[in-house]
């Protein structure tokens, strides 16, 4: 193994991270994500919620689920703040698909999603 320069290593890591993260297209209502060997187009308004599963996130729409290698933090940074909010360490929800809020849970398409204590106050302020 050859010794390597830290600056070159950092550049390689940054390049890899850029290639692996979802790529929003400026001014559009959709973005592309890498799903293995292909890129999938996802429309912001069709995403009901996003669930973190270890090193992956699952984008859930009314018709399908798409699994992507990314963290919740990276995913949240790529989404429009006006449409999405993080409500739990493992969940980001679309505000337009919330059917009801009951106790410490949000319901989207009959799926009960927990609201974490860390995010509860900010979430309740956000929805008014």
Instruction: List, in order of start, the domains of the chain with CATH numbers.
Output: 6-96 (2.40.50.1020)
- Series of mean pLDDT values for 10-residue runs along the chain (128 residues): 76 69 63 89 96 96 94 93 96 97 93 96 91
Show contacts of 35-40: CB within 8 Å, 24+ apart.
35/66, 35/67, 35/68, 40/66
Evaluate whether 40 touches 63 at the Cβ level (below 8 Å). Answer: no
pLDDT at position 11 is 79
- CA torsion angle 93 94 95 101 (round to 10): -40
Q: What is the pTM of this model?
A: 0.78
């Amino acid at each position: 193994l050859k010794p390597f320069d830290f600056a070159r290593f950092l550049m390689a890591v940054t390049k890899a991270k850029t290639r692996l993260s979802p790529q929003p297209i400026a001014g559009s209502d959709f973005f592309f994500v890498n799903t293995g060997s292909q890129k999938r187009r996802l429309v912001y308004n069709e995403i009901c919620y996003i669930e973190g599963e270890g090193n992956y996130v699952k984008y859930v729409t009314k018709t399908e689920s798409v699994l992507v290698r990314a963290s919740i933090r990276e995913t949240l940074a790529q989404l429009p703040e006006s449409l999405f909010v993080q409500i739990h360490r493992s969940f980001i929800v679309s505000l337009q698909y919330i059917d009801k809020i009951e106790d410490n849970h949000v319901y989207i398409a009959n799926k009960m999603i927990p609201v974490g204590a860390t995010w509860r106050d900010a979430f309740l302020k956000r929805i008014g």
